[in-house]
A and B are shown apart, each in its own frame.
Chain A
C-alpha cells in the first residue's frame, strides 16, 4: 500500500476496509451521495420558487457531509430521529426520492401521505421517525426509542440528529441526562451550523464549546469537522460502534455550515457575505472531489456520468410525484387514531 497523499482518515479506513481500491470505491460512494443530495436540494429550491412546494422548507446545502457521513455509519436496524432540515437525512437513509417529493407536493404517495410536508418526513419501514419541527422535541422521543432497545435487549442504536439551537432547549439537557443516567444506546449527533435560525452560536450560548458541555453529563463527547465527510464518517462510525458495544450514549458535534438561508423565507441579513464565502471554500463536495482527483480516484467522465444519472433520477422522481393522486378530502381525519384496533 502506498502512503503518498493519503489522509489519516484514509489510513484508518484502509485498515478497517482493506485495499486502496476498496477505500476509493467507498469514498466515491460518499461523494456521489453528497452530490445527489446537493442536486436534490437545488431542485427543491427551484420547485419551491415555482410554487410546487409550499410551507416552510429548510435546505441542507453545505451540510451534506454530516448527512452522508452519519447515515453511512448506521445499520438498517438502527432508529433515527431527525429535524426539520432533514431532506438529506431522509435521502441518505434510503427513502425514495419520488416519495419525498410527493410528500412535499402534498400527495397521497408522499411518505406521510401529504400530512407532513418538508419538515415531517417519516418512514416506519426504515425506522426514520421524523422529521420534527419543534426544536429539541424529537430528543426525548429518541431517548424512549433507545430505552426500548435497552429493555428489549436488542443490538439497535438510536441516532438522534439536532442542531446547536436545540442544544439551548431544556429537552436536550433532560434527554442527555436521561440517556447517560439510564445508559442507553443513543448517539447525539449535533449538527452545529453556527446559527439557530438567525442567532449566531455566540449570541445563544454563554459557553460555545458544545462537546465540552455535553461531556458534563458523563457521556463520551467530541467534535469533528463537519465539512469533511471522511472525518464525519469515521467519527460517526466510532460513535455508533461505541453505543452499540457499550450500550451507552455518546455525543458527537459536527461542525458544519449551511450555505443557503435558514428557510426559503429568510432574507439572510444576519450573516456576512465574507463569512459565507469563506465556508463555501470548504464545500465538502469540492473538497472530496479534489482529494480523489489528486489520488487518481476520480475522472471528469465519472462526475459527468453521476450528474447525468442524478439529473435523471430527479427528473423521474418529479414525474412520479407530479402524476401522483392527492389524498381525498374525505380521508382528512384518517390516521388521527389507529385504524387496526383490537389486541395490540
Chain B
C-alpha cells in the first residue's frame, strides 16, 4: 500500500517543522522546557525531535519556570539561540521576573551592551475546560512590556513561518499559541515564505466594518464575517498577529476605509490589548469613525471549568456578529 502524499498539516506539526528547520539551519538553536523531550511536548509539538537531535538540544527541564527561562536568557546572551517552551501562559507567571526584569530590560539597562536573542513559546487561551489556572489569555498583558516582541500565530502559515524570523530577532520574542489551534489543519505552507513579524495581516478584505482579532479569536472573526456577508455586510478582518509592536499603519488604514471597528480579544476587557487599540483609534482616527468602537472580550472572571460557563465567558462568533451589527446600525 502506498501512502498518499500528505497535503495538509496540523498547527502543531507546522510548529514542529519550524523548530526542526531552525535546528537544522543553525546549530546554536536548541529547545528546552518541561517535557519537550521524552514526552514529546505537553501538546505534542516536539514529538520526535529528541530522537533526531538528542538530549543536549532537546532539553527536558525540571518544573522550574524561573530557572529555565532565566537559563534561556543567559544562554542567549552567551551566543546561543534558545527556544524556551512554557506549558501554558499561567505557568509563565512563575518566570515573570526573568521575562520582565531581565529579558526585556537588560539591553536598555546595560546601555546596549548586551542583548537577549531568546524565543519563548507558550500555550494560551481557553475553550478546553482546563479551568482557571490553565486557560487565561495574558498575551495582551505581556504586550504592555517594552523590550519584548509579542507574536500570536493564528494560521498554519504563521505557525510554520514565524519562528525563523523570531530567532533572527536580536531581542526577546514571545510566541503565544492558542490551545484550540493545535489540531487545526490546512494545506502545507511553502516553507520558503518568510512571515513579516512586524505586520498585521488582512485576512479578508471588506468595506463596511473592520473586525480585528488574533490567535484564538481569528477563526471566530472570519466565521462572523461569512455570516455577516450573507446579510450584505462587507467585513474586513485583520489578524493582528503582532501585539507588540502593534501595526498601527495596517489598523488605521483599514478603519479609515470602513469607518467602523470591532476588536475581538480573548483577554479581559480592563487594561487589555483591545483597550490599547481602541485608545489608538481614538487618538489617530477619531474623525474617521462613524460609530463607537466595539470590543468583544472575555467576561472578567477566572475561567470556569463547566463547558457552558466557559463558553459564556469566552468571546463567541455571535458576539462578534452582534457587535458588528451595532456599528453598522449607526449612521453618520
Residues of A whose CB lies within 8 Å of any CB of B are 79, 81, 110-116, 120, 122-124, 129-132, 134, 137, 139-149, 151-152, 170-171, 174-175, 177-178, 181, 334-341, 343-344
Contacts and interface: CB of A to CB of B under 8 A. Distances in A.
B171 A116 contact: no
A188 to B, nearest CB: 13
Nearest to A110: B111
A134 B97 contact: yes
Contacts of B69: 140
Given A140-B71, A171-B67, A335 B77 contact: no
Given A130-B106, A144-B74, A171-B70, A137 B98 contact: yes
A61 to B, nearest CB: 25
A140 B74 contact: yes
Contacts of A137: 70, 97-98, 101-102
B67 A115 contact: no
Contacts of B146: 336
A123 B113 contact: yes
The 6 closest A-B pairs by CB, nearest first: A140-B70, A144-B74, A174-B67, A113-B111, A148-B78, A335-B112
B147 to A, nearest CB: 6
Given A137-B101, A151-B56, A144 B114 contact: no
A145 B75 contact: yes
A151 to B, nearest CB: 6
Contacts of A79: 78
B170 A174 contact: no
17 contacts: A112-B110, A112-B111, A120-B110, A131-B109, A134-B101, A140-B74, A144-B74, A145-B77, A147-B80, A148-B78, A148-B79, A152-B80, A175-B67, A178-B64, A336-B146, A336-B147, A344-B168
Interface in B115-131: 115, 117
A336 B169 CA distance: 13
B80 A140 contact: no
B180 interface: no
A142 B61 CA distance: 16
Contacts of B171: 337-338
Given A142-B74, A178-B68, 4 more contacts: A116-B109, A131-B109, A141-B73, A148-B79
B203 interface: no
A279 B168 CA distance: 53
A175 B111 CA distance: 27
Contact of B107 (A123, A171, A338, A341): A338
Contact of B73 (A112, A140, A335, A340): A140
